[in-house]
Amino acid sequence: MTVRAVAAGFAVAALLPLAAAGQAPAGSCRDPRVVRQPADLERAVEQFAQAARLAPRDARPLLERGVCLERLARHEAALSDFNAAVVLDPALAQARIDRARLSARLGRLDNAEADYGEALRLDAASIDARLGRGEVLAALRRHAEALRDFDAVLQGNPRHLPALQGRGASRAALDQVEPAIADFDAALAIDASFAPAHLGRGEALARAGRHDAALKDFDAYVALRAEDSYGRFRRALAMARTGDAARAIEDLGEAIRLEPRMVSAYVERGRLLARGGQAERAISDFGEAIALAPKYAAAWRFRGMAQYRAGRHDLALADLTEALRLDAKDSVARNELAWLLATSPKDAVRDGRLAVDLARAAAEQSGWKNPGLLDTYAAALAEAGQFAEAVKWQQQALELPGLAGEAKAGAEQRLRLYREGKPYRTP
């Protein structure tokens, strides 16, 4: 053995433990719980670069440097190191795991799944590979497959927090709500400060309609992760469901401050503002959502509905038409557009023939069982001058369950108009 080879061996050994040791070396960047300053990470990068130069046939220094680069958010450089490590040692499971982890972070889920699968072929006992593949499968919405990986991890360690979290989330996605809640309960019994389990349990409870209990979990999550915009967003939804619209609007505002491009937060705040009679602010929020996501049909529909309530029927017509163009299956947009075309007091907006076609299609989508949609169909028929048919369908709307209070009184008023041979006009 040459002197250089011996030196290389010592250099690598000083920086890298044997895999069997199961812990990161002093210079390693692997443990995410250890806070390292950028300068420390840069020094580690140089250390492992030196080790790689001394041992050019050893994949491990490249892997360690790649991990440091990953923590510095220099992702493409890190991926280059992981790729080189795989080429140097195709049988090294850790190289596949590291590359898969970064691929998943970069959204390259198919690549990540393939690498995790190969890592498990090389080392079937790898918890990191099993858990990682489960998380990727869940991200791909293949939750039944993900459950098998999470189950395998938990068979070996029933107290594995990320596996409990992953299994709970996949169970919730599969509508296995109570087993999901049990998983989150188990995770929080182990560590009450494990924030992801509070978020996951809150979402599962909300799915079950238990919004008061969900709100407590979202409160706990926000207390632990105050700067997470999604947590604020979910808490706002729970607040709205429990009747606290004012606080929900505040939380959505904070979510938007934390993540100014959060389209769903603009939409939900706009909906709450519209319900509260703040049409101008609602229209502004829907406009922000449309600017960020021009193909998001629901934002166009909600803005169109707000424009309609503000009396701007020409703008409502444009927005609702665009909503339906973007999503031809949106029965709500179809019904709203039909109602506008049938009942607007503005002659330039009304179109009875098109209103009939749209309203009929919406009613057909519902199986002719939604009284609100039949009410719209009757209004469209009346605008088209088909008053006998309008009376027939308005009577059917009133016979179906669902209309009560002011809605029923309005429907009865319209029935009287149709019997008199008069169409309905919105105020």
**Closest by alpha carbon to 296, among 257, 265, 274, 273?**
265
Please say whether the beta carbons of 283 and 305 come within 8 A: no
Whether residues 347 and 321 fall in one domain: no
Of 225, 253, 269, the residue that ends a domain is: 225
Confidence label for 9 from pLDDT (cuts 50, 70 and 90): very low
Query: Is 288 part of a structural domain of the chain?
Result: yes
| 5-14, 18-27, 58-67, 188-197: least confident range | 5-14
Of 291, 306, 328, the residue that ends a domain is: 328
Please say whether the beta carbons of 363 and 347 come within 8 A: no
In the predicted model, what is the mean pLDDT of residues 70-76? 97
**Closest by alpha carbon to 286, among 261, 264, 303, 306?**
303
Of 328, 350, 383, the residue that ends a domain is: 328
Whether residues 391 and 350 fall in one domain: yes
CA 35 to chain CA centroid, Å, is: 29
Radius of gyration of the chain (CA): 29
Q: What is the pLDDT of residue 33?
A: 83
In the predicted model, what is the mean pLDDT of residues 363-391? 97
Whether residues 321 and 346 fall in one domain: no
Query: Is 179 part of a structural domain of the chain?
Result: yes
Please say whether the beta carbons of 162 and 132 come within 8 A: no
Whether residues 253 and 324 fall in one domain: yes
- The beta strands (E) that lie in 324-378 are given as none
In the predicted model, what is the mean pLDDT of residues 335-339? 98
**Closest by alpha carbon to 363, among 354, 353, 351, 372?**
372
Give the structural domain span for 171: 154-225
Give the Cα separation of 184 and 171 in Å (integer).
11
In this structure, what CATH number is given to the domain that contains residue 180? Answer: 1.25.40.10
Query: Is 249 part of a structural domain of the chain?
Result: yes
Whether residues 282 and 306 fall in one domain: yes
CA 250 to chain CA centroid, Å, is: 21
Q: Which two tokens stand for residue 410?
A: 């309005």
Q: What is the pLDDT of residue 274?
A: 97
Whether residues 395 and 415 fall in one domain: yes
Q: What is the pLDDT of residue 32?
A: 83
Confidence label for 87 from pLDDT (cuts 50, 70 and 90): very high
pLDDT above 60: residue 213: yes
Whether residues 255 and 317 fall in one domain: yes
Q: How many domains does the chain have?
A: 3
Residue 335: CB atoms within 10 A of its CB come to 24
Q: Which two tokens stand for residue 48?
A: 């492992």
In the predicted model, what is the mean pLDDT of residues 94-110? 98
Q: What angle do CA 30, 114, 172 make, to 5 degrees?
A: 80
Q: What is the pLDDT of residue 144?
A: 98
In the predicted model, what is the mean pLDDT of residues 388-415? 96
Whether residues 321 and 358 fall in one domain: no
Confidence label for 60 from pLDDT (cuts 50, 70 and 90): very high
Query: Is 349 part of a structural domain of the chain?
Result: yes
Number of Cα atoms under 13 Å in the Cβ half of residue 116: 24
Q: What is the pLDDT of residue 23?
A: 44
Q: Which two tokens stand for residue 281?
A: 């602010």
Q: What is the pLDDT of residue 18?
A: 31
Query: Is 13 part of a structural domain of the chain?
Result: no
In the predicted model, what is the mean pLDDT of residues 331-341? 97
In the predicted model, what is the mean pLDDT of residues 380-396? 98
Query: Is 219 part of a structural domain of the chain?
Result: yes
Query: Is 109 part of a structural domain of the chain?
Result: no
**Closest by alpha carbon to 334, among 382, 311, 296, 300?**
300
Q: What is the pLDDT of residue 193?
A: 97
Whether residues 283 and 305 fall in one domain: yes
Whether residues 321 and 359 fall in one domain: no
pLDDT above 50: residue 21: no
Convert the pLDDT of each residue in 247-274 to its tens digit: 999 999 999 999 999 999 999 999 999 9
Whether residues 259 and 323 fall in one domain: yes
Query: Is 177 part of a structural domain of the chain?
Result: yes
In the predicted model, what is the mean pLDDT of residues 115-137? 98
Whether residues 392 and 366 fall in one domain: yes
